[in-house]
């Protein structure tokens, strides 16, 4: 899939044009004001806080201001959040984020959430991640992407390994939980073209 504007695929002698941020059954799109309630629920779900290092709830006011500024580029804010829409159902099922964007070193961190459990373990996270990786390497021309995954999250480790990410290290006792400390694994995907 090429991500310079629109992509063209040949299928039974017909050319099909698709958006640069669509892949198979998912569409990655910018957040809209209508996403406020979803984001409010997801950001304030305490079961997700351990993976995002969140320790206080977000107000609707803060999230509304975030949405009002979501038109700014990754070069202005150092981050990019995209909503993951499941095309067949027309439903927003999660988010995928770039964070710690470093334009000099050409790298960014990646985080993904499939919030609706009915859509987990069906390949949608893989589709979203593939689309984002293609965008980062072709459009943003990043040299590398990285992610941090807790040692008890084997499904996420499998997802990123499947997409070509390689474990680069382990941060011992990195995250404090109610049961003690847990290790965090660092994964990287290097783009040899940039």
What is the CATH number for 111? 3.40.630.30
Tens-digit pLDDT profile for residues 5-30: 333 333 322 222 234 688 889 999 99
pLDDT for res 2:
32
pLDDT for res 39:
83
Confidence of residue 178 (pLDDT cuts 50, 70, 90): confident
Q: Is 150 contained in some domain?
A: no
The SS3 call for residue 33 is helix
pLDDT for res 36:
86
Polymer length of the chain = 194
Strand 107-114 to 144-150 pairing: parallel
Strand 91-102 to 107-114 pairing: antiparallel
Q: 116 is written with which tokens? A: 């609706």
**Residue 21: strand pairing partners:** none
pLDDT for res 60:
81
Q: How far apart are CA 46 and CA 42, in angstroms?
A: 9
Q: How far apart are CA 157 and CA 23, in angstroms?
A: 21
Q: Count other C-beta atoms under 10 Å from residue 92's C-beta.
A: 21
Q: Is 154 contained in some domain?
A: no
Tens-digit pLDDT profile for residues 37-64: 888 878 877 676 667 766 777 788 878 8
Q: 67 is written with which tokens? A: 């949405």
Give the domain range for residue 101: 21-142
Q: Is 164 contained in some domain?
A: no
Q: How far apart are CA 139 and CA 153, in angstroms?
A: 30
Max Cα–Cα distance, the chain, nearest Å: 59
The pLDDT of 153-178, averaged and rounded, is: 95
Higher pLDDT, 126 or 57: 126
Q: How far apart are CA 156 and CA 127, in angstroms?
A: 14
Q: How many domains does the chain have?
A: 1
DSSP states of 54-78 as a string? --SPPPHHHHHHHHHTTTS-HHHHS
Tens-digit pLDDT profile for residues 58-115: 788 878 888 888 888 899 999 999 999 999 999 999 999 999 999 999 999 999 999 9
Higher pLDDT, 72 or 148: 148
Higher pLDDT, 155 or 58: 155
| Residue owning tokens 């334009």 | 103
Q: Is 161 contained in some domain?
A: no
Q: Is 132 contained in some domain?
A: yes
Q: 1 is written with which tokens? A: 């899939």
The pLDDT of 109-134, averaged and rounded, is: 94
Q: Is 75 contained in some domain?
A: yes
């Amino acid at each position: 899939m090429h991500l310079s504007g629109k992509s063209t695929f040949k299928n039974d002698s017909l050319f099909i044009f698709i958006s640069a941020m669509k892949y198979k059954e998912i569409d990655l799109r910018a957040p809209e004001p209508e996403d406020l309630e979803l984001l409010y629920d997801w950001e304030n779900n305490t079961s997700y806080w351990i993976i995002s290092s969140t320790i206080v709830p977000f107000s609707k006011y803060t999230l509304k201001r975030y949405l009002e500024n979501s038109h700014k580029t990754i070069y202005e804010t150092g981050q990019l959040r995209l909503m993951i829409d499941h095309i067949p159902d027309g439903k927003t099922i999660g988010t995928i984020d770039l964070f710690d964007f470093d334009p000099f070193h050409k790298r960014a961190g990646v985080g993904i959430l499939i919030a609706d459990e009915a859509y987990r373990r069906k390949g949608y996270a893989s589709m979203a991640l593939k689309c984002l990786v293609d965008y980062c390497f072709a459009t943003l021309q990043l040299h590398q992407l990285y992610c941090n995954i807790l040692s008890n999250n084997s499904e996420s480790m499998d997802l990123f390994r499947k997409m070509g990410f390689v474990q680069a290290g382990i941060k011992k006792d990195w995250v404090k939980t109610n049961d003690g400390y847990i290790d965090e694994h660092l994964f990287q995907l290097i783009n040899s073209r940039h």
